[in-house]
Amino acid sequence: MPTILSLLALWLALALPAAAADLPFAVIAAPGATDHPLTRESVALIFKRKQNYWESGTRIQPVNLPPAHPLRRAFSRVILGHAPEALEDYWREMYFHGVLPPHVLASEEAVILFVRATPGAIGYVSTCVPQHGVSVVLTVGEVPTCPK
């Protein structure tokens, strides 16, 4: 029997505005982490902690934005197929297998700094945020004309 919390999470997932999925974003990785672009499916495996190492053998260090951040909601919806709240049961189950969710950083700037400085790191930011010193491995959505 589904719990009230599960039903609420499902309702929130269905109630997400479609516009959230329209936010364009770039998945970024540490320089040298991978030599080729990634697919949405491979990024999903990384953020669900089902792929833990790059081809080079370097441990992958995924980072998320806070659950209420519009870009996190768009990323979760488009890449993972669910709202952040709907993934809570998944992470509770994974915790009992010794698997922790990706670290959460407070801002897109923090994500870029972490990814740039951490071998094997991967995260996501708005396509309009300057991405100097990192590799863009996947772009989702139409890239808008960004203000300078």
Helix, strand, or coil here: 62?
Answer: strand
The domain segmentation of the chain, as residue ranges, is 25-140
Model pTM score: 0.83
1/27: higher pLDDT? 27
pLDDT in tens, 108-134: 999 999 999 999 999 999 998 888 999
Q: What pLDDT is stored for residue 2 in this prediction?
A: 53
The Cα 142–Cα 114 span in angstroms is 25
As its CATH architecture, domain 25-140 has 3-Layer(aba) Sandwich (3.40)
C-alpha distances (whole Å) from 128 to each of 18, 71, 95, 138, 146 are 20, 12, 34, 14, 5
pLDDT bucket at 13, cuts 50 / 70 / 90: very low
Helix ranges (H only) for 1-148 are 4-15, 18-21, 40-47, 70-75, 88-95, 108-117
Q: What pLDDT is stored for residue 97 in this prediction?
A: 94
